[in-house]
């Protein structure tokens, strides 16, 4: 297992912190370790509403604290159930801008008992920065996060 996965696992397994604190620490670790991750956060389904609510994050405050299903990259992943990698956000018509600095975005869904219950969202200030390894890491992470929810 890679070093970063070990560190993420130890955060998620820590008995000292509640779920919110663990997710906050996960955001901090990714933000610190991967230079082109410039906003890292979680969104979760808001109760029984078809909308996402912002959870723990690291990065500039965003206006998008609630995102209706279908809107933006995040809202599309809430209904597609698939990872969405956007190398250049300016090429996307259904995109919600958080910061003029954001150039690229990756959103990975989180499933619990087969239901799409949330996602991790990463913005980058670099065009086309995300590698196949990043995607694999984030998909692995979302599977691990799901186990503590
Ligand atoms: N850009 C996202 C909105 C969330 S912010 O990036 C934090 C989207 O299009 O859904």
Q: Give pLDDT, residue 149.
A: 97
Who contacts 33 (Cβ-Cβ below 8 Å, separation ≥6)? 4
Q: Give pLDDT, residue 108.
A: 99
The tens digit of pLDDT for each residue in 64-79 reads 999 999 999 999 999 9
CB of 43 closer than 8 Å to CB of 68: no
Burial category of 111 from C-beta neighbours within 10 Å (exposed 0-12, middle 13-18, buried 19 and up): middle
Q: Give pLDDT, residue 29.
A: 98
On whether the pTM is more than 0.85, the answer is yes
User: 137: domain range?
Assistant: 2-146
Who contacts 50 (Cβ-Cβ below 8 Å, separation ≥6)? 68, 69, 78
Burial category of 141 from C-beta neighbours within 10 Å (exposed 0-12, middle 13-18, buried 19 and up): buried
DSSP for 10-72? HHHH-TTS-HHHHHHHHHHHHHHH-TT--EEEEEEE-TTSSEEEEEEEESS--S-SEEETTSH
- Rounded to the nearest angstrom, the distance between the alpha carbon of 15 and the centre of ligand 1 is 31
pLDDT band at 1 (very low <50, low <70, confident <90, very high): confident
- Count: domains in the chain: 1
- Rounded to the nearest angstrom, the distance between the alpha carbon of 96 and the centre of ligand 1 is 5
CATH number (domain holding residue 13): 3.30.450.40
44: nearest Cα among 102, 108, 119: 119
- Rounded to the nearest angstrom, the distance between the alpha carbon of 87 and the centre of ligand 1 is 14
Q: Does the C-beta of 96 come closer than 6 Å to ligand 1?
A: yes
């Amino acid at each position: 297992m890679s070093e970063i996965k070990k560190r993420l696992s130890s955060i998620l397994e820590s008995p000292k912190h509640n779920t919110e604190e663990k997710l906050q620490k996960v955001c901090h670790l990714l933000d610190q370790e991967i230079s082109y991750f410039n906003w890292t956060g979680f969104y979760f389904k808001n109760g029984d509403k078809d909308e996402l609510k912002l959870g723990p994050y690291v990065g500039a405050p965003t206006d998008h604290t609630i995102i209706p299903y279908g809107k933006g990259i995040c809202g599309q992943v809430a209904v597609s159930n698939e990872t969405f990698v956007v190398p250049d956000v300016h090429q996307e018509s259904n995109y919600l801008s958080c910061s003029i600095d954001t150039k690229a975005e990756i959103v990975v869904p989180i499933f619990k008992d087969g239901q799409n219950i949330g996602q991790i969202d990463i913005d980058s200030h670099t065009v086309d920065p995300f590698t196949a390894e990043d995607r694999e890491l984030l998909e692995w992470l979302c599977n691990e996060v799901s186990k503590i929810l």
